[in-house]
Amino acid sequence: MESTAYYKYLINRYYNGTATPAETEELMAELRKNADDAQWQALIGEMFAAEAPDPAYDPALYEPAIQSILDAGRELRHDAPASGSSRLRSIWPRVAAAAAVLLLLGAGAWYLAQRPAEKRVATIAKADYDVKPGKQGAILTLDDGTEVVLDSLQNGVVTNQQGATVILQNGQLAYQGTGNGVSYNTMATPKGRKFRLQLPDGTLVWMNAASKLRFPTAFTGTDRTVELSGEAYFEVAQQPNRPFRIRLADDTYIAVLGTSFNVNAYADEANISTTLLQGAVRVQRNNIGQLLKPGQQMQLDPRGNNFTIVNNVDTASVMAWKNGILNFQDKKLTAVMRLLERWYDIEVVYQGTPPDVTFYGEIGCDVNLSSVLNFLQESGIYFSMENNKLIVGAKKEMK
């Protein structure tokens, strides 16, 4: 297992009945993949021991039950049919192990149920920093400066801009009609908000939190240019004779004909990154250009003209935000905190030097902040909340 702390977190969520469908599916997948009973037993034992060092705790109450369940799991494996496909024989131990460990989870839940009620309350009580997650929402600024808050609007026509009809339908804003002139609108997703937009040419844009996109109400020139800050995923409508261009900070441009890609251009990140999923894009800055192929990511240091190309990028990790997941894979603490600042609309303050910790795994973006922080604390990171400020530090610094 890549991160035992993360799987402790998933197991804890599972037997407390608070796991999201995505978390449950992830845990089940790992149980099927990893059939090492001893590893799971040690993991669950560590978790129970950490939670239950009180007078009511008696290992003799649950350890024999765990052992008998493991023995039953081994019997299931030994009883596997001698005949049948090799594929069936290869997956049978994993299925048996999954069943055994799920019974272990049941045994653990039974043990917690036997503890005094006052002890259990302390274990599962909501944290003080229980901030709700972000949601769908955005602010549309029209050409005349009028702001339209989309969070609370019902489906229907929002406005007309130079002959183009702007329609809100099931969480997506769409521009319909060619229009009889050009004006510029800006969609902004504040911290704690995400939204989806269909541009006048049919291009689809998913906008992450703390992002802004400026675009015309009609594309009338030889190209289709929009301006982006923050992060967005694009599925560009194909118009071979009119390239689609995204302008970023410092006159960096991304030029495409028809493709799908993600752009991360937050001002507080070290690099501007463009990740290509399908098609082809060219990133241009100060007469220096770089063509990307699917599965590649271009990282640009905005302080200079340095391009770095990363091959075989984990696109699922890059696209996690669009798919409703907070992804921590291979991320340092400071990167994770920037992600939480945007999605939970909080301010992060470090007490002392930020601990040098790298995280793995992911969690659904529909959980409260306390669920995320409970997981992060498994790595020795401690938190306190003052109004909307999250104070972060190592254990010894927080005392």
Closest by alpha carbon to 234, among 265, 210, 271, 193?
Answer: 265
- pLDDT the model gives residue 49: 58
Q: Phi/psi at 236 (nearest 5 deg)?
A: -85, 130
Over its C-alpha atoms, the chain yields an Rg (Å, rounded) of 25
- pLDDT the model gives residue 245: 94
Q: What are the domain boundaries of the chain?
A: 4-124, 135-316, 324-398
Residue at token pair 């441009």: 253
- pLDDT the model gives residue 179: 64
- pLDDT the model gives residue 109: 42
- pLDDT the model gives residue 16: 62
Q: Long-range contact list for 20-26, CB < 8 A, 24+ apart?
A: 20/363, 20/364, 20/366, 20/367, 22/324, 22/325, 22/364, 23/363, 23/364, 26/362
- Per-residue pLDDT of 121-150, as tens digits, reads 323 234 455 789 999 999 999 999 999 999
- pLDDT the model gives residue 89: 29
Q: Which tokens in the block code for residue 336?
A: 């994770």
Q: What is the pLDDT along the chain (399 residues), one digit of tens a residue?
A: 545 666 666 776 666 666 666 667 677 767 666 666 667 667 666 665 555 444 444 555 555 544 544 454 444 444 444 433 322 223 333 334 444 444 444 444 444 334 443 333 323 234 455 789 999 999 999 999 999 999 888 889 999 887 788 999 888 999 987 766 678 999 999 999 999 999 999 999 999 999 999 999 989 888 999 999 999 999 999 988 899 999 998 778 999 977 999 999 999 998 899 999 999 999 988 777 889 999 999 998 877 777 899 999 999 899 999 988 898 888 999 999 999 999 999 999 999 889 888 888 888 888 889 888 887 877 778 888 888 899 998 765 554
Helices (H), 20-143: 21-33, 37-51, 59-78, 86-114, 117-124
CATH number belonging to the domain at 324-398, selected among 3.90.550.10, 3.55.50.30, 1.10.1740.10, 3.40.50.850: 3.55.50.30
CATH 3.30.2290.10 fits 135-316, yes or no: no
Give the Cα separation of 235 and 258 in Å (integer).
8
Residue at token pair 């019974």: 103
